[in-house]
Amino acid sequence: MSAAAVLVVATARDQIADYLSALINVYVVLIFLYILSSLFFSFGGRVPYNRALNAVLDFLRSVCEPYLGIFRRFIPPIGPLDISPIVAILVLTIAGGIVVNLVRG
């Protein structure tokens, strides 16, 4: 392989790794938003009917709940405190970091 081909492959791998890292960061932010919205409603927060807000909340629920559900099966809530999202975020960041480093080489 020539030096130019190696450089192109290395650049492509870095770009893919950066893309995966950005996806992981966006998913962590979505999980945080889902947790904050569920806390707001669990403490009695009420929002008048709003189609846009309901669409955002439905999107957060449909994106985050399948992943969080995996951890909720194994980690029961401790009273009113649910620590499964914390564990889910830790697993996501650790496993994501490992995958990103493997892709990067």
- For residue range 8-55, list pLDDT tens digits in order: 666 888 899 999 999 999 999 999 999 998 888 777 777 777 788 888
pLDDT in tens, 57-66: 899 999 999 9
Cα atoms in the Cβ-side hemisphere of radius 13 Å centred on 3? 0
Would you say 83 and 50 are in contact if contact means Cβ atoms under 8 Å apart?
no
For the entire predicted model, the pTM comes to 0.85
- For the chain, which residues make up each domain, given as ranges? 3-104
Q: Determine the Cα–Cα distance for residues 67 and 88; give it in Å rounded to an integer.
A: 8
